[in-house]
Chain A
Amino acid sequence: MDKSLTILDPKILTKFGNLSLVAKTIVEGFISGLHRSIHKGTSVEFVEHREYVRGDDPKYLDWKLYGRTDRLYIREFREETNLKAYIVLDASNSMNYASQPQTITKFTYAQCLAGCLGYLMMKQNDATGLVVFDSDIKSFIKPSSTRTHFHFLVENLENLKPGKDTNIGETLHKIANHIRRRSLIILISDLFDEQESVMRGLAHFRHKHHEVIVFHIIDRGEMEFPFDGFRDFIDMETNERISIDAPAVRAAYQNIFREFLSFYQRGCSERGISYSRALTQTPFDYFLYQFLELRSQTI
């Protein structure tokens, strides 16, 4: 098995308990696993040499190289700008679900992922903020790129507990109205709400020229519905109860759930929103790659 995958396995990582440590472990491990990182964290960065052509500024000539090769080369740099990013985390009670006792809940997974993203962004001098919501906005932390801010952000994340029911669509509109400057919005949620309403909320971000990335967190049990026998299913958010013979409804459930997933995938694609779906067993580096790719496009 790949070493990085073992290290980044959420099931193992969450046993450490300290989110700050977990985030650091994951991100450092992830970065060391990359062959060559272009993200050095400097504001002006050398990229490559090219041959001098008439009209180029002579101050960028590389005289040392001229001394060795007797040919004129120009040094090229790329300037990086600081990114403002908001991690929008769903803390509704449906996120507190794990289908197996040995797996982590969707919320724990989301916490870790948020921590990792926060650490990664701090390492790259990006300003990171955090918005936590359930049926409404629970906390709103403005972005900053300092180490102190990162610790504050992690402390907030650690103290979170999923609670009420969901109202994702409405809440996204509120958040979109709060954020004025063009930013990167990272939504981490199971998206269990009225689908059209959620999609309208995401479209609101795009309307305000934000870049949006959706990390759709799903438990394997939710997707496959592998339950046996006749059971009383109780909604974790509303406490509503339904008696159902699970094997009898499985095929129909799977079809409906597939439609639900493809709705978001299709909807996000149509609106230029990056959409990543993962089960709670998926290693975190999957999301970190997704994030870095989008970041590079955004800058």
Chain B
Amino acid sequence: MGFLQPLFLWGLAGISVPVIIHLFSRRRAPAYFFSTLRFLKLTRRKTIRRQKIEEIIVLVLRTILVACLSLALAEPVSRRTLLSEKDSWVVLILDDSCSMSAGVQATPWKNLQQTCGQILSSLKKGTHVSVVFSSGKLIPFSKMYEKIAQEIRTSQPTFMGNTMQKAIDRTSSILEKKQGYKRVFIITDFQKSAWENVNAENIQKTKAEITIINAGEDTQENAGIKNFYPLPGKNTYMCEVVNWGKKEITAEIKFSSDGYEITKPALILPGKNTEIEINLEKDYQQVKAELLYSDVLKQDNVFYMQKEATGQKKVLLAGSEDTSISYVQSSVTSSGTISVDVRKINEMADINLTSYRTVLMVNPQRIEAPFRRKLHDYILDGGTLVYFAGERIAPEDFNSDWFFAEEKMFIMPSKIARKTNFPKQAQITYVASGHPLFAEFGDRIFEYLKTIRFNSCFSTKDITGDILMKLDNGYPVLYEKRIGKGRIFLFTFSPQQSWTNFQKKPFFPVMINLMVEYFSGSVSTALTGDTVVIRDSETTKSVRLTSPEGKTEIIKNDSGRQITYVPDIPVIWTAEFSIRGNMQKQMFAANVPYTEGDPSKVSPNDLRTVLKKIRVNFIPKNRMEKIISAEASGGDLMMFLLRVSLFLLIAELILSNFFVSIKEKGIKSVQD
């Protein structure tokens, strides 16, 4: 903001005039001798507050009136107008996430395209314009507005989740070194999940003026498939469906694979996950689940499942060098489909955890902070940690080490209090029989468990996970906790003779295998927009990626590391590469993040909290004239201020007369 006639700003000193009048008028009250103040004191208490409020209202109105008049006469102009045309930089951040295509006729994306057209047509010639799509696409700074508009018109929303943070950071980097007036338009559907935890520090440094425009449609009913995965047991699968709306939905779900097709009706309750179990005729490696329901977003109604190829599963086993680790190792390898890397705790700092589907830790010694952080990230990204507590664990270390201060989160399912030796041997009397880990066995589970005895285990406290197994003396021995996309299984005992004979019983290897097979990497599923690691691709020169639609991409390996890929469409992808002359083939399913179907919106107030310290203008949907007024010239601003002044003047006159009339009414009533 600048002023063409800054001398008039001295008029702001006039603000003091009404204040002085206010103070002076109070002291000039004439004295009057009255017989008694007894009654006046009582009335004064009742009326003094109202008088003060009236005085303050009139004073404030007069003060603002003087200020507005002074500012109007000083002829304010926007900073952009003051600067030369070559110094204006405008970035359009466009949300092209999957949710932008939600709608029947009007979609947020169509609103976005229309808004962009209006913004581009209202810009002054010479302004540099760049477009940053949330999916990563970029149109560099250019003055060819028509070409930019054409490109936006032909663009479509992606299948990816919302990565507004990346778009904001990218905008910050391209504006960082630009000098002059900077303005950023963010056009989005205000989807709540996209704006949670957005860090706006970088863009704050650019000192850009930010306008956020709501292109979203009103909240509408929507449902989608959240997850689809195989369950332990023959040909059994679980389909999780989420209903974001407020009404029950009756729909059919179609499961298809390799010419086979089956449909199952489902009642999907609002506000929570509905789990639908399905038996297919055989054990399919690839299955497409499809919710046959017409709602505002079609993309989240389809889910692709790809089972991980046999022989591809690899687990990391670490812990103390005693017999306990060998029991666990032999349990994992007993299936013949899983390979195990056994490492010592002090060797783990350099290990890349993304190569492993599960990390098993048996009675480990204290783990260094960097590796704990690595494990934390690994679990949040979908990894599984199976943890056996033993003598080497000091409860106080355990309880403090697994608390992550930054996230304010204790990731383990419970804290450990102390080791308890039982006076008489204990048996397992409770099992969470509905849990997929045990569901296959039904009531027979206790037949398998009846010979298991426990001599001791750790007592626990501050439980945040689910208890899966409990002893007859009340001590839980197995917990589970889901964090992010992954989960942690915590055994409160060490698989050693002095603690229990569990590790020697046939159910132990079955249980460990189920943990590794079905909860960690039994399926190879990724999300569109996420980075997928092509395993064992360190030594190959290139990887060929193909989709069923015939989309092909070749990624060369120049770094000698594992190749990564970001799938952009929801299909089953095939990665092919050769290692030492042998052709390798990996398949993975990519799906739209189910949160894209969430129609809940973030409020402008919440956004202000996220974008703290940044001046933000909010433009509601279909209020484009506000954008134009935001681009208004100095003359318009002056007229606006003059209008405000006129309004204040009228308001002041009306209010003053109103207050006086109240007083006069009192006088007249007495005279009558």
| Residue ranges of A at the interface with B (Cβ–Cβ < 8 Å) | 94-95, 97, 106, 190, 192, 219, 222, 224-238, 240-245, 247-254, 256-257, 260
Q: Which of B307-315, B529-537, B644-652, B659-667 contacts A (4 or more CB under 8 A)?
A: B659-667
Cross-chain pairs A/B with CB under 8 angstroms, 9 sampled: A94-B35, A224-B670, A227-B32, A230-B26, A233-B40, A247-B664, A252-B43, A252-B46, A260-B39
Asked whether A257 lies within 8 Å of B39 as measured between CB atoms, the reply is: yes
Partner pick for B36 among A226, A228, A237, CB 8 A cutoff: A237
Question: B30 within 8 Å of A by Cβ?
Answer: yes
Partner pick for A226 among B30, B43, B667, CB 8 A cutoff: B667
**Closest chain B CB from A2 CB (angstroms):** 26
Closest 10 pairs between A and B when the two form their complex, measured CB to CB? A247-B663, A97-B35, A252-B43, A250-B666, A94-B35, A249-B43, A235-B37, A192-B36, A230-B29, A247-B666
Asked whether B25 lies within 8 Å of A251 as measured between CB atoms, the reply is: no
Asked whether B35 lies within 8 Å of A222 as measured between CB atoms, the reply is: yes
CA distance A293 to B39 in the complex (A): 33
Contacts of B51 in A (CB 8 A): 245, 248
**Closest chain A CB from B663 CB (angstroms):** 3
Question: B10 within 8 Å of A by Cβ?
Answer: no
CA distance A242 to B33 in the complex (A): 11
Q: B38-60: contact bitstring with A at CB < 8 Å (1 yes, 0 no)?
A: 11111110110011000000000
Asked whether A232 lies within 8 Å of B31 as measured between CB atoms, the reply is: yes
Asked whether A233 lies within 8 Å of B670 as measured between CB atoms, the reply is: no
**Closest chain B CB from A93 CB (angstroms):** 8
Partner pick for B670 among A229, A248, A250, A260, CB 8 A cutoff: A250
Contacts of B46 in A (CB 8 A): 249, 252
Asked whether A234 lies within 8 Å of B32 as measured between CB atoms, the reply is: yes
Report how many A-B pairs have Cβ atoms within 8 Å: 99
CA distance A256 to B44 in the complex (A): 11
Interface SS of chain A: helix, strand, loop or mixed?
A: mixed
Asked whether B35 lies within 8 Å of A190 as measured between CB atoms, the reply is: yes
Closest to A225 in B: B670
Q: With A231-B29, A250-B666 known to touch, is A192 a contact of B41 (CB < 8 Å)? A: no
Asked whether B44 lies within 8 Å of A249 as measured between CB atoms, the reply is: yes
Partner pick for A252 among B26, B37, B47, B662, CB 8 A cutoff: B47
Partner pick for A248 among B30, B33, B663, CB 8 A cutoff: B663
Q: Supply 10 further A-B pairs (C-beta < 8 A) apart from A245-B663, A250-B669.
A: A229-B29, A230-B25, A231-B29, A232-B30, A234-B34, A242-B44, A243-B29, A248-B662, A252-B46, A253-B40
Question: B559 within 8 Å of A by Cβ?
Answer: no
Closest to A255 in B: B43
**Closest chain A CB from B640 CB (angstroms):** 36
Question: B352 within 8 Å of A by Cβ?
Answer: no
Asked whether A192 lies within 8 Å of B38 as measured between CB atoms, the reply is: yes
Question: B609 within 8 Å of A by Cβ?
Answer: no
Partner pick for A94 among B31, B36, B664, B667, CB 8 A cutoff: B36
**Closest chain A CB from B256 CB (angstroms):** 81
Asked whether B44 lies within 8 Å of A235 as measured between CB atoms, the reply is: no
Asked whether B50 lies within 8 Å of A234 as measured between CB atoms, the reply is: no
Residue from B51, B663, B671 with most neighbouring chain A CB atoms (10 Å): B663
Partner pick for B33 among A228, A236, A244, CB 8 A cutoff: A236
CA distance A131 to B662 in the complex (A): 46
Asked whether A244 lies within 8 Å of B35 as measured between CB atoms, the reply is: no
Asked whether B29 lies within 8 Å of A242 as measured between CB atoms, the reply is: no
Contacts of A234 in B (CB 8 A): 31-34
Closest to A97 in B: B35
CA distance A244 to B666 in the complex (A): 15
Contacts of A225 in B (CB 8 A): 670
Asked whether A256 lies within 8 Å of B42 as measured between CB atoms, the reply is: yes
**Closest chain A CB from B29 CB (angstroms):** 5
Residue from A225, A243, A248 with most neighbouring chain B CB atoms (10 Å): A248
